[in-house]
């Protein structure tokens, strides 16, 4: 087991820069998830750690040693691929033991490691089958087993759950987490699914256009996003953004959304935004769960308003409501018993204690 670090890592393909200088330190035993939209450079970064892609610039170290020119087999890593990449002509046991057999481990040791990994992943009964005879979820377990038996310094996962159906994905997500709790190997996991990132990671690395947008614990990214990209990428349904500007009314800082709609900024937030020029074009970022039905006794910082709902989506434990504010679509989450109906007005309340204020041009959260 080892720590992994990336120093100003760059990957260029002819004219395209896929990864544009990444700095990242992954601690021993840590589970780090790289997340971002397709084409953001997350898979390329993972493949550079694996040694499957050359790095154009910068340094990658595993366990303190620079591995820039070390071939994959000598990096002591194991990788789980999106399409599993199991050898179709080998049985499950042969697939799992392939790496050990190449390194001429003693037969007894290979057998005990395979048995142990199979038991951990609950695939003991499948050990003599060929990959063709397995379901997607079982193949995924075998691919993980192949990584575990090697007992490498680092696990690399490249979108391992993308080929599974929704239910199986949730199940395997939990399996992966359990395995990591048992073996505690440093793990780098790539996904485009922010739910996977949030649920699995010790730390999430959000990437966009070949750069790191933000690194942080899942809750930190959720509650304190650094940029508009992170704010909109993390969380489902996504955060609402409404154009707004600041103004002073009776000596108090107000947030003006439309000509008729303005809210006082909660005192706790006022100091932070005081220095922002009043003419600056801003965005109010607010998560759907902070737009709920108005209660009789509102807490300080929770401001009521009325909206005519366009569409409602009953989800069971909550109802999503959609309405527009000056052509900006907004989503809120209300109690299923709040009486939300398509086309009907509803009294809502926005919790400004959880607001984010962004610069509309730069996308930076203020």
SS3 353: helix
Closer by beta carbon to other proteins, 142 or else 253: 142
Q: How far is CA 330 from the centre of its chain?
A: 23
Q: Which stretch binds other proteins (CB under 8 A): 56-64, 81-89, 224-232, 298-306?
A: 81-89
Residue 333 CA: distances (Å) to CA of 155, 329, 339: 38, 14, 12
Q: Which stretch binds other proteins (CB under 8 A): 46-54, 109-117, 217-225, 328-336?
A: 46-54
Alpha helices in 281-349 (DSSP H): none
Q: Does 92 bind other proteins (CB under 8 A)?
A: no
- Binding-residue pattern over the window 97 to 126 for other proteins, x denoting contact by CB under 8 A: -xx--xx-----------------------
Closest CA to 246 of 104, 108, 357, 86: 357
Cα(44)–Cα(41) distance, rounded to whole angstroms?
5
Q: How far is the CB of 52 from other proteins (least distance, A)?
A: 5
Cα(80)–Cα(13) distance, rounded to whole angstroms?
24
Q: Which stretch binds other proteins (CB under 8 A): 13-21, 35-43, 80-88, 203-211?
A: 80-88
Closer by beta carbon to other proteins, 144 or else 282: 144
Closer by beta carbon to other proteins, 21 or else 99: 99
Closer by beta carbon to other proteins, 100 or else 244: 100
Answer yes or no: are the C-beta atoms of 59 and 9 closer than 8 Å: yes
Q: Does 135 bind other proteins (CB under 8 A)?
A: no
**What residues contact 250, with CB distance under 8 A and at least 6 apart?**
none
Q: Applying CB under 8 A, which residues contact other proteins?
A: 50-52, 71-73, 77-79, 81, 83, 85-89, 98-99, 102-103, 130, 132, 146, 150
């Amino acid at each position: 087991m080892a720590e992994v670090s990336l120093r100003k890592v760059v990957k260029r393909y002819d004219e395209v820069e896929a990864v544009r200088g990444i700095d990242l330190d992954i601690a021993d035993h840590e589970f780090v998830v790289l997340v971002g939209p397709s084409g953001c450079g997350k898979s390329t970064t993972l493949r550079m750690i694996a040694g499957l892609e050359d790095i154009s610039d910068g340094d990658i170290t595993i366990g303190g040693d620079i591995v820039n020119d070390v071939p994959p087999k000598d990096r002591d890593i194991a990788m789980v691929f999106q399409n599993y990449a199991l050898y179709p002509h080998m049985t499950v046991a042969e697939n799992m033991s392939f790496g050990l057999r190449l390194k001429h481990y003693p037969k007894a040791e290979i057998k005990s490691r395979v048995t142990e990994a199979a038991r951990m992943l609950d695939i003991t009964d499948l050990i003599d089958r060929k990959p063709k005879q397995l379901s997607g979820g079982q193949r995924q377990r075998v691919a993980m087993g192949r990584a575990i038996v090697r007992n490498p310094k680092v696990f690399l996962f490249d979108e391992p759950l993308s080929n599974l159906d929704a239910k199986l994905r949730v199940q395997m997500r939990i399996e992966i987490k359990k395995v990591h709790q048992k073996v505690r190997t440093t793990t780098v996991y790539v996904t485009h699914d922010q739910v996977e990132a949030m649920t699995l990671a010790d730390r999430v690395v959000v990437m966009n256009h070949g750069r790191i947008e933000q690194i942080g614990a899942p809750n930190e990214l959720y509650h304190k996003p650094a940029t508009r990209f992170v704010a909109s990428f993390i969380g489902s349904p996504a955060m609402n953004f409404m154009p707004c500007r600041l103004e002073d009314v009776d000596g108090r800082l107000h947030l003006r959304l439309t000509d008729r709609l303005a809210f006082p900024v909660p005192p706790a937030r006022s100091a932070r935004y005081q220095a922002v020029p009043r003419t600056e074009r801003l965005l109010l970022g607010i998560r759907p769960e902070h737009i709920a039905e108005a209660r009789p006794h509102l807490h300080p910082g929770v401001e009521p308003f009325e909206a005519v709902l366009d569409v409602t989506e009953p989800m069971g434990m909550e109802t999503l409501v959609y309405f527009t504010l000056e052509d900006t679509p907004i989503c809120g989450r209300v109690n299923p018993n709040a009486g939300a109906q398509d086309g009907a007005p509803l009294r809502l309340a926005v919790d400004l204690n959880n607001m984010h204020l962004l610069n509309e041009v730069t996308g930076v959260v203020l």
